Structure 1
Amino acid sequence: MGIKLIDRVQLSLAVFAAKTITSAIRLLRLGAASVLPGTIAVRIQPQVLSLLCRQVKYGVIIIAGTNGKTTTSLLLRTLLERAGWRVTHNSTGANLQNGLITALLDDTNLTGNIKADYAILEVDENALPKVVLQIQPKYILCLNLFRDQLDRYGEVDLISRRWQKVIAQLPPETTVILNGDDPTLSYLGQQLPQNILSFGLSEPEEYLEEIPHAVDSIYCPSCGQGLDYQGVYLSHLGDFKCPSCSFKKSNLAIDSREWPQILIGIYNKYNTLAAVLAAQRIGVAKEVILDTIKNFQAAFGRAEELEYHGKKVRILLSKNPVGLNETIRAVNQIKAAGKASTTLMVLNDRTPDGTDVSWIWDVDTEKLVELGGTIVVSGDRVYDMALRLRYSQKNLDSNLKLIVKEDLNEAIATALEHTSADETLHIVPTYSAMLEVREILTGRKIL
């Protein structure tokens, strides 16, 4: 479909203005220019997002959910590029409307033409209803829905209803790939008229011993009855059915046992399956998928491994109860194998993190302290985290060493001192804290 002359002129002006401000910001080293150019562009051409997405040759892929968006996006991008397709992607993680526009503008020429086979857009779960009809995606990947920043977003059922309302308006040929182990998303898929594909686990040996405190959705989304779980893999994700109505876990379109996973943690099994299922449907060969998984490098802060002052460091971004519980689960497995004894936790309460930190009391931190070792805490809310960990100790005479450091540089130095040469220091930060940690470790900013 062609673009009207007036829209084309406005688009060209928007692109020129956006690229000018991008160059200025980067030249002056004021940041990555991941949001402001899009803000300017949409004021000049209100339809800029739609006009750019319409030009993507084979379509746009939206990736949405509470956890795992950045990792899944990067894996899928790598798979498509290794299969020979040109991909544009909001790799900085700026996932609101202005960030999406900025990412697309980066790959346009001065007349507003974009040369891409696919666009992969990581979209904030609360922003999806506002942008999905403009984007008209070919594929939507729905990873999960957990409580995240309640001061901004509210509960998961509210977000799900908003998703259903807008996705139902998309063309029937749209493919929706969703997490069948998530009752909320499984039910969502069963209500939509589009082509629905589900991913999930079929590995009972990975069941948790009990349902965690940070569980969000254990009631039937159809009738409200408590769900019967055969077992849970992560928070409320698991094998379930309703004892009162016909609702049950959706049939899976992929066998989780057939595929290795990227990185560590059960959550990355889900990220892997989502990207693999999408890549299969698009046409990526199995041998390319397997080789990509084997050689995958983590996105910044997402199980990213670095070396600092001769010691190994792994950064595990954790910004909500479910994410931190799974990080603790992964770290404990490494601790139990004798490959780690020190953990650095950094808790901030800035806008990217969510200003309400009461969520840390929903985390099963008892499981982290019970194995002992050294835990260093830092961040804007260092004493909140220290108090939570102290309350987690059943025995104050245990072999846990809790160290409080307000200054982040001192905290990192102290944690490294307590990390032996053959171990890995695990740093567990919230989002803004992760950016600060990486700047110290690498000497450069991301955003």
Structure 2
Amino acid sequence: MGNNIGLIDRLKVGLAVSIAKSVTFGVRSLKLGAASVMPGAIARKMEPRLLQLLSQQVKYGVILVAGTNGKTTTSLLLKEILERKGFRVAHNSTGANLENGLVTALMESANTFGGLNVDYAILEVDENIVPKVLAPIQPQAILALNLFRDQLDRYGEVDSISKRWTTAISSNSPNTTVIPNADDPTLSYLGQQLSQKVVFFGLNEPEKYLAEIPHAVDSIYCPNCGHSLDYEGVYLSHLGEFNCPKCDFKRSKPDLDSSEWSQILVGLYNKYNTLAAATAAKVLGVDETTIRETIPTFQAAFGRAEELEINGKKVRILLSKNPVGTNETIRVITESNDKTTLLVLNDRVQDGEDVSWIWDVDTEPLVQRGGTLIVSGNRVYDMALRLRYSEASLDSKMTLIVEEDLKMAINKALEHTPANETLHILPTYTAMLDVREILTGKKIR
């Protein structure tokens, strides 16, 4: 951590970073995008070891944040906690979480000569590349949030990812601290297999259990012997209190008592994000007072429970890109008194081209409560069919509006939203970018 690199390597890094910064300046000056990936791609062509050489310059170390849901929110909270203590922190805040994006983020904090003067780097990492980046980065800590089905056309099932994680992490530096979600059976088991220091986070609030296990459940079998797990209760998807009746595998004990902690933003998933960041901060030596003082002041990242005021009406954007995440955003909506919802489904590369996941979403509670549901996106009719299918089995007074044009869909949704209510928008990733551009006039790329 914070190692000096040799003169030759420093010259190579300096040249690569200097050219990449020129590219960044040109792209942003011409308003061609955020330049969150291209500079890293160019720089890595010039020096393939750039991720390693930049990571070595981070004074106290790199924290990798991996998982299906919650990476951006958790990373931002952890960043704010560390900055409150006066630390300088690099972070891939644009969400570009593949190798080129990681390099670009580190270069953002470097000077023209490639020198990186930061205390920590918090890097959100796509779950599929965790094994590839562990060796060059040698992180101080790995925060493993959860593993759910997400973009099956790209990643495959949860078990295949968890096995790759276990193999890669177990052979990584013994100085790395691993912080897994105790309530996720695959991650709880992963933590129990490691020789490194492991600190768990999770919930211990039985009053928040779901009434039943939802359809969008991914991992209810014992990762040790394959037998069905016994659940005392579930919080969301397969996250909960569990044990295996056949072998001795059971849920690990979290470090923090969740009932004693408030949370950021809305939704139970944000309680997990809060506990993950708080546990990581504690591992890094931050005092509890600083952690607790940061939580109430936290502001949502774009699209993650972000709240806007448009034409005098409140709008809340809840990123919904897989079954578990969408079920949780639906839970947030149905617990409110708001009756207007816009669902935007895209199938671009960043979203995952397989949209069959919407049939694992429990849309019935949303449909059953009635109100106005507007659907849009380039797979608008798939989403409309999913809602109609739910309606067919329910006594619902839902009003469904199908609108291919997203701008018109947003306008209609605002028109149907009473002044004293909030319009909830549930978009997939690229749809969220489009929605924000229409609402704010600012492009995020």
* TM-score tier after normalising by the smaller chain length: over 0.9
Give matches, 1:113-262, under 5 Å.
Answer: 113-262=115-264
TM-score when normalising by structure 1: 0.98
Q: String of CA shifts for 1:180-201, please: whole Å, max 9, x gaps.
A: 0000000000111100011111
CA contact (8 A) 2:183 2:203 kept: yes
Q: What is the distance in 2 between the residues matched to 1:436 and 1:298?
A: 18
TM-score when normalising by structure 2: 0.98
Q: What is the distance in 1 between the residues matched to 2:433 and 2:171?
A: 37
Q: What is the distance in 1 between the residues matched to 2:292 and 2:371?
A: 36
Q: Which amino acid aligns with 1:178?
A: P
Aligned positions, number: 443
Of residues 274, 277, 296, the one that matches 2:276 is 274
The Cα of 1:288 is off from its aligned counterpart by: 2.1
- Counterpart of 2:309? 307
- CA distance 1:111–1:211, change in 2 (3 Å): same
Q: What is the distance in 1 between the residues matched to 2:172 and 2:399?
A: 54
- Counterpart of 2:333? 331
Of residues 317, 320, 344, the one that matches 1:318 is 320
Of residues 55, 58, 61, the one that matches 1:56 is 58
SS class of match (1:198): coil
The Cα of 1:397 is off from its aligned counterpart by: 6.3
The Cα of 1:396 is off from its aligned counterpart by: 7.0
Q: String of CA shifts for 1:40-94, please: whole Å, max 9, x gaps.
A: 1111111110011111011000000000000000000011001111101000000
Of residues 433, 441, 444, the one that matches 2:442 is 444
Q: String of CA shifts for 1:205-231, please: whole Å, max 9, x gaps.
A: 100011011100000000000000000
Of residues 106, 109, 131, the one that matches 2:108 is 106
- Counterpart of 1:291? 293
Give matches, 1:413-428, under 5 Å.
Answer: 413-428=411-426
- Counterpart of 2:97? 95
The Cα of 1:387 is off from its aligned counterpart by: 0.4
Structure 1 gaps, min length 5: none
Q: Which amino acid aligns with 2:140?
A: K
- Counterpart of 2:401? 403
Q: What is the distance in 1 between the residues matched to 2:393 and 2:139?
A: 54
SS class of match (1:121): strand
Q: What is the distance in 2 between the residues matched to 1:404 and 1:3?
A: 58
CA contact (8 A) 2:369 2:396 kept: no
Q: What is the distance in 2 between the residues matched to 1:134 and 1:143?
A: 22
The Cα of 1:16 is off from its aligned counterpart by: 1.1
CA contact (8 A) 1:178 1:196 kept: yes
Q: What is the distance in 2 between the residues matched to 1:417 and 1:440?
A: 15
Q: What is the distance in 2 between the residues matched to 1:429 and 1:122?
A: 21
Of residues 343, 352, 356, the one that matches 1:354 is 352
Q: What is the distance in 1 between the residues matched to 2:414 and 2:6?
A: 59
Q: Which amino acid aligns with 1:367?
A: P
Of residues 362, 365, 382, the one that matches 1:364 is 362
Q: What is the distance in 2 between the residues matched to 1:27 and 1:122?
A: 26
CA RMSD across the alignment? 1.0
Q: What is the distance in 2 between the residues matched to 1:116 and 1:236?
A: 38
Q: What is the distance in 2 between the residues matched to 1:313 and 1:252?
A: 35
CA contact (8 A) 2:370 2:396 kept: yes
Q: What is the distance in 2 between the residues matched to 1:397 and 1:328?
A: 18
The Cα of 1:394 is off from its aligned counterpart by: 4.1
SS class of match (1:315): strand
CA contact (8 A) 1:7 1:45 kept: no
Moved more, 424-433 or 157-166: 157-166
Moved more, 1-10 or 378-387: 1-10
Moved more, 7-16 or 368-377: 7-16
Moved more, 6-15 or 263-272: 6-15
Q: Which amino acid aligns with 2:28?
A: R
- Counterpart of 1:31? 33
- Counterpart of 2:375? 377
Q: What is the distance in 2 between the residues matched to 1:418 and 1:288?
A: 43
SS class of match (2:65): strand
Q: What is the distance in 1 between the residues matched to 2:52 and 2:108?
A: 15
SS class of match (1:126): helix
Q: What is the distance in 1 between the residues matched to 2:172 and 2:395?
A: 59
Q: What is the distance in 2 between the residues matched to 1:45 and 1:281?
A: 33
Of residues 340, 343, 348, the one that matches 2:341 is 343
SS class of match (1:300): coil
Q: String of CA shifts for 1:350-400, please: whole Å, max 9, x gaps.
A: 001000000000111111111111000000000000000000014676311
Runs of 4+ deviating beyond 6 Å = none
SS class of match (1:390): helix
Q: Which amino acid aligns with 1:443?
A: G
SS class of match (1:152): helix
Q: String of CA shifts for 1:223-251, please: whole Å, max 9, x gaps.
A: 00000000000000000000000100011
Q: What is the distance in 1 between the residues matched to 2:4 and 2:67?
A: 33
SS class of match (2:51): helix
- Percentage of matched positions with identical amino acids: 67
The Cα of 1:287 is off from its aligned counterpart by: 2.5
Q: String of CA shifts for 1:106-151, please: whole Å, max 9, x gaps.
A: 1111221101000000000001111111100001000000000000
Q: String of CA shifts for 1:6-47, please: whole Å, max 9, x gaps.
A: 222211110111001001000100000000000011111111
Q: What is the distance in 2 between the residues matched to 1:396 and 1:56?
A: 56
